[in-house]
Amino acid sequence: MRKNIVVGNWKMNLNREEGIKLVEEVISLVSTDNNVEVVFSPSFLYLHKVNKMCANYNLLQTASQNISHNERGAFTGEVSSQMVNSLNVKYTILGHSERREYFNETNIELKQKVDLSLKNNLEIIFCCGESLNQRESGVHFDWIKQQLTESVFHLTEKEFEKIVIAYEPIWAIGTGVTASSDQAEEIHQFVRNVITEKYNENIAENTSILYGGSCNPTNAKELFSKKNIDGGLIGGASLNAENFTRIIKSF
C-alpha cells in the first residue's frame, strides 16, 4: 500500500529560530497517528536540529532540498549525500524546477544525484513538471516522461521502491494558480501508467505521487481526494504551522 505524504519545502526561507518554532507548533497540532507521513525540508543548516526534533515520531521525517552530484572532495560549498545520510535523514528532494532553472540541473546530472542518494541510503522525492509553454503546446506528457526516463528509469525495481514522485507544474509554483484537481489527476494517472509500462503494476500502485504548486488549506482536500494523488509537496503554505497542519489533515 502506498503512503500518503505531505512535504514542507521551506526553500530559502526561515531562520533557525523560526524553523524550530514552526516544527514545534506543527508537532503540537498534528496527530501522529493519522497515517500521513509528514516531511520537513529545511535549509541544510537546520536539518540536523529538525531531524532530532522529529526523531521520536515515526511519521515525522526530514529531507534535504538537494545534494551534490559529486561524491566527495574539493567542491567548496557543496553538501554530499553521504553527509546528509550521516544525520539519519530519510529523504532528499531532487530535480526541483527551481534547481533545474536557476542552477542548470539537467536530467543527466540528476541521474548522478539519484544514484549517489541511493548509494548513501537516502530515499528520493523526485520532482518533474512542465512549463506553461510546454503545456500550451501539448508536449507536457512527453516532457515528463523524458524527465523520468533520463533520471530514474535506469533503476532496478528494488531501487525504484525508494522513489517518491512529485509532480510540480512550473506555472503553478508560487503563483497562486493551482492545477485543477482534474489536471493534476490526469498527470498523476499518466505517471503511474508510465511506471507500469517501465516496471509493473505492483510497483506503480505502490509509488507515492505527490502534487506541488500553490497547494493550500483550501484546495488540498479536493486534490488529495483524487485516486492518484497521494499527498503534496508544499512551498509557501508549509511556512505557517496552521496552514501546513490543515493541509496534513486534508486526507
| 155 to 184: interface string for ligand 13P, x by CB under 6 A | -------------x----xx----------
Provide the minimum distance between the beta carbon of 113 and ligand 13P in the complex, in angstroms, as a whole number: 16
Which residue is closest to ligand 13P by CB?
235
Q: Does the annotation mark 18 as catalytic?
A: no
Give the nearer residue to ligand 13P in terms of CB position, either 160 or 211.
Answer: 211
Give the nearer residue to ligand 13P in terms of CB position, either 94 or 148.
Answer: 94
Residues 6-25 that bind ligand 13P (CB under 6 A): 9
Q: Under the criterion CB under 6 A, does residue 132 sit at the interface with ligand 13P? A: no
Q: Which of 19, 212, 217, 231 is close enough to bind ligand 13P by CB under 6 A?
A: 212
Q: Does the annotation mark 168 as catalytic?
A: yes
209 forms bridges with which residues in the sheet? 165
Q: Which of 51, 85, 214, 243 is close enough to bind ligand 13P by CB under 6 A?
A: 214
What is the per-residue DSSP string for 183-247?
A: HHHHHHHHHHHHHHHHS-HHHHHH--EEEESS--TTTHHHHHTSTT--EEEESGGGGSHHHHHHH
Phi, psi torsion values for 158, nearest 5 degrees: -65, -45
Q: Which of 215, 220, 247, 248 is close enough to bind ligand 13P by CB under 6 A?
A: 215
- Count of beta carbons in the 10 Å neighbourhood of residue 69: 21
Q: Under the criterion CB under 6 A, does residue 220 sit at the interface with ligand 13P? A: no
Q: Which of 210, 233, 241, 248 is close enough to bind ligand 13P by CB under 6 A?
A: 233
- Structure-derived torsion over alpha carbons of residues 241, 242, 247, 251, reported in degrees to the nearest 10: 120
- The separation between CA 143 and the C-alpha centre of its own chain, rounded to angstroms, equals 18
Are 164 and 207 in contact, with CB atoms under 8 Å apart? yes
Q: Under the criterion CB under 6 A, does residue 185 sit at the interface with ligand 13P? A: no
Amino acid at 144: I
Strand 60-64 with 123-128, pairing:
unpaired
Question: Given 37, 130, 168, 185, which residue is catalytic?
Answer: 168
User: Which residues are catalytic, by number?
Assistant: 96, 168
Contact positions toward ligand 13P, by CB under 6 A? 9, 96, 168, 173-174, 212-215, 233-237
